[in-house]
Amino acid sequence: MNELIASIFGSYGRIIIFFHILSASILIGSMITIRYIVHPILIGIDDEHTRFKKCIKILNRYVYFVVILMLIIASASLFMIIGFGFEYADPIVNSLIRVKEALWVFLAFNFVYAYIRLYQAKKLFGMREFFEVKENLSLILNYLIPLNIILAMIAIYIGVIIRGF
């Protein structure tokens, strides 16, 4: 299997790296957009029912977008790790790869937790428990997404360090 992945990477390595970087950039850009552009606009909506309905709808669509990007990032990462032969690389490079993997795994679990909270918010919205809806959405928008922005930026910086070796 490793030989097949290495062969594919040998033929399409630049395209794979391009999609890896593009997906990571789109993911970070979209998180920044949701948190610092869309969220303040939603806060400006006076009617709670409308505000929460729009917020849930936006985040629900965003989840599917994130899943696609994360699958592209993970797939491209696998091709790059095997294709570049990082398992045989310098121990420092190998350690940086593992740290970067850990950051992205934590980021993915953070998105899963955000989805669980979004799912709870949708259920509570249906029961018109607006205080609880606000708490769930606030957690996602004020803490989980900014944390993921920071983690993704650190992972990208580590990627830049690795490419410098």
pLDDT in tens, 107-160: 999 999 999 999 999 999 999 999 999 999 999 999 999 999 999 999 999 989
Tell me, rounded to whole angstroms, the distance of Cα 63 from its chain centroid. Answer: 9
- Asked if 99 and 143 touch (Cβ cutoff 8 Å), the reply is no
- Is the per-residue pLDDT at 86 higher than 90? no
Residue 104 carries which side chain, given as an amino acid letter? W
Average pLDDT over residues 15-41: 96
* Residue in 144, 123, 138, 128 with CA at minimum distance from that of residue 63: 144
Domain spans of the chain, in order of start: 2-164
Q: Assign residue 45 a region: left if phi > 0, alpha if psi is -120 to 50, beta otherwise? A: beta
Percent pLDDT > 70 in the chain is 99
Q: Please enumerate in sequence order all residues whose Cβ is within 8 A of that of 64, keeping only pairs 6 or more positions apart, or say none.
A: none
Its pTM stands at 0.90
